[in-house]
A = this chain, B = another copy of it.
Amino acid sequence: MATLSDVARRAGVSPATASRVINGSSKPVTDELRERVLAAVAELQYVPNAHAQLLARSHRSAVGVIVHDVSDPYFAEITRGLQRVATDQGRLLMICNSYRDPDRELEYVELLRGHQVAALILAGSGYHDEAFTRQLNEKLAAYEATGGRVAVIGRHEHSGDAVMPDNRTGGYLAGRELCGLGHRAIGVVAGPRILTTTTDRLAGLRQALTEQGRELPERRIRYAEFDRDGGAEATARLLDADPELTAIVALNDSMAIGALATLRGRGLAVPQQISVLGFDDMPIARDVTPALTTVRLPLVDMGVRAMSLVLGVGAPTPRVEVLPAELVRRDTAGPVPPSTRAPAGSAPRARRGDTAS
């Protein structure tokens, strides 16, 4: 690889001058030398060594991002928001997938710190795990102590800047909707119980049911991976245990899609025989059939806010922002079937929208 001094030598100038030309330094350089340097750069196909630059420069520029999995639409949307702001500000993003492994998360904090990122954003759910939370907080504190900025998305455990989707209210909205439609036998297809996202959404859901004098017993909850196959499998287990169910709440849209697949496999009509509610409103939700009724979270916006917080753009923002959840009615949730036990032959042709909430 050609180095700066190669360029300088070829142009007949000092490395200092070459550097100034290449970086557009404020220090003036005569046109003639500038030309020579530029010519040398082109001839040698010179590209500055980023590591050397970063080492020599004092200020840090890149921003580190730790998500569970960028290819999961939930994080893809958040990341889109993060990117948008970062690009505007001329920042490079380093994105790491933890695949929901706490240890890997810890490792990535170190890795990104080692890469001298100016800020760190952790997106995704927190864990119900004292020891881990403490460790993570220590590491984040150490990082902040050296001037790094930290923001978390959807995790309570960190004391600094945070963007929180209102998972609890989201769960509550889902519960209220289903109650309004007359459902009593409601099953839940939940993500891993160690995740705060799972428990928060569950808590809101339970609150709604309780307010309506109904309940959500543990036997009507199945925990599984937060993805399509987890949802399919949990739904199967739920149905096996309790065939009377008239509604299923999936704690994210991927699981809801899995649930829909299982239901279809068993010949249960949605929403005529059984209703399904999702959570997140990821883009594909409107394209499945029937289109998914779900709780929308402003995913892109969450990313935008978090990045803005950490980069300090705009007015001095509050350090914790809670973004609202919102129910999106589509076609998978309908009124409870007239008889809980749907007659096998003639499923009622119930359509959504007749019932006000």
Residues of A within 8 A of B (CB): 1, 45, 47-55, 70-71, 73, 76-77, 79-80, 83, 94-95, 97, 110-111, 113-116, 139, 142, 146, 228, 257-258, 260-261, 264, 283-284, 286-291, 330-331, 352, 354
Which residues in B have their C-beta under 8 angstroms from that of A331?
352
**A76, A114, A330 pick with most chain B CB within 10 angstroms:** A114
Cα–Cα distance between A111 and B49 once the two chains are bound (Å) = 9
**Closest A-B pairs by Cβ, 9 of them:** A71-B76, A289-B289, A45-B142, A50-B114, A51-B51, A51-B54, A50-B115, A1-B146, A47-B114
Q: Which residue from chain B places its CB closest to the CB of A287 in the assembled complex?
A: B257
Beta-carbon contact of B47 and A113 below 8 Å? yes
Cα–Cα distance between A330 and B261 once the two chains are bound (Å) = 14
Which residues in B have their C-beta under 8 angstroms from that of A116?
1, 49-51
- Tell me the minimal C-beta distance from A303 to chain B in angstroms: 12
Cα–Cα distance between A290 and B264 once the two chains are bound (Å) = 11
Known contacts A1-B116, A264-B289; can you find 14 more A-B pairs with CB under 8 A? A1-B146, A47-B113, A47-B114, A50-B114, A50-B115, A50-B116, A51-B51, A71-B71, A71-B73, A228-B283, A228-B287, A260-B287, A286-B354, A289-B289
Cα–Cα distance between A19 and B170 once the two chains are bound (Å) = 51
Cα–Cα distance between A111 and B111 once the two chains are bound (Å) = 20
Beta-carbon contact of B284 and A114 below 8 Å? no
Q: Which residue from chain B places its CB closest to the CB of A75 in the assembled complex?
A: B71
Beta-carbon contact of B287 and A48 below 8 Å? no
- Tell me the minimal C-beta distance from A25 to chain B in angstroms: 18
22 CB < 8 A contacts A-B: A1-B116, A1-B146, A45-B139, A47-B113, A50-B114, A51-B52, A71-B73, A71-B77, A71-B79, A71-B80, A228-B283, A257-B287, A258-B287, A260-B287, A261-B286, A261-B287, A287-B354, A288-B288, A289-B289, A291-B352, A330-B352, A331-B352
Which residues in B have their C-beta under 8 angstroms from that of A97?
83
One of B48, B55, B258 near A51 (C-beta < 8 A): B55
Cα–Cα distance between A65 and B114 once the two chains are bound (Å) = 21
Beta-carbon contact of B110 and A47 below 8 Å? yes
Which residues in B have their C-beta under 8 angstroms from that of A113?
47
Cα–Cα distance between A111 and B354 once the two chains are bound (Å) = 45
